[in-house]
Chain A
């Protein structure tokens, strides 16, 4: 069964460094998403992406963040100048479309630890 994959599973970085989190969405899906979950808190939406453009973003997704689809399979989240409070699980998701019956399928997540 097709699934969303994410790499790395765990990333440790120093405060102020840049990190790139990678995702491979399900191949025939058109919509891609990034979410984060700070330990013990709710899953929060960051950004959605369609047709090589950001389609929606939350107030969390400020200039520190950017997304890119560098090729036909990868979808990346870049976090510049990381802060301690960026430590969280980051989930990538994809969906075939935006119809009400279209489920979002989540990857296993990347645990980001900022020291």
Chain B
């Protein structure tokens, strides 16, 4: 059974910092990995999807990488802004299933 762990659980940084959020998973036979953003009391917004055959994906200030052999993905946020404050969720589909297993998320606060 896939287990997804996200470290750190919470992060508070000043505006402008570059930061890295980590996601680790136990079953490396992944189908894809998706990073989401969740604002308090709101739904999930898809940020990036990395297919099993890919190593990274980029969108604006966001870059997600995937290392299947070590069971890790990182989400890199460049030049963080207060508007980036949210919970970031990692979701991994694996084991022949397209159904994602979610991590608990990293709660990010970017203060001015």
User: Residues on A close to B: CB < 8 A?
Assistant: 6, 33, 41-45, 48, 56, 58, 89, 91, 93, 98, 100-101, 103-109, 111
Q: Across the interface, which residues of A come within 8 angstroms of B44, CB to CB?
A: 43, 91, 93, 106
The verdict on B28 contacting chain A, using a C-beta distance below 8 Å, is no
CB<8 Å pairs between A and B, sample of 8: A42-B105, A43-B102, A45-B101, A91-B43, A106-B36, A108-B42, A109-B42, A109-B43
CA distance A111 to B41 in the complex (A): 8
Asked if B49 and A107 sit within 8 Å, CB to CB, the answer is no
Asked if B49 and A45 sit within 8 Å, CB to CB, the answer is no
Asked if B89 and A43 sit within 8 Å, CB to CB, the answer is yes
Nearest CB in chain B: distance from A45 CB, A: 5
Q: A43-B102, A56-B99 are in contact. Are A107 and B52 (CB under 8 A)?
A: no
Asked if B43 and A100 sit within 8 Å, CB to CB, the answer is no
User: Residues on B close to A: CB < 8 A?
Assistant: 31-32, 34, 36, 41-46, 49, 51-53, 89, 91, 97-105
Nearest CB in chain A: distance from B33 CB, A: 10
Q: Across the interface, which residues of A come within 8 angstroms of B51, CB to CB?
A: 100-101
Q: Return the contact of B45 from the options A33, A45, A101, A106 (Cβ within 8 A).
A: A106
CA distance A58 to B104 in the complex (A): 18
Q: Across the interface, which residues of B come within 8 angstroms of A45, CB to CB?
A: 99-101
Q: Across the interface, which residues of A come within 8 angstroms of B91, CB to CB?
A: 43
Nearest CB in chain A: distance from B36 CB, A: 7
Asked if B46 and A103 sit within 8 Å, CB to CB, the answer is yes
Q: Return the contact of B46 from the options A43, A104, A111 (Cβ within 8 A).
A: A104
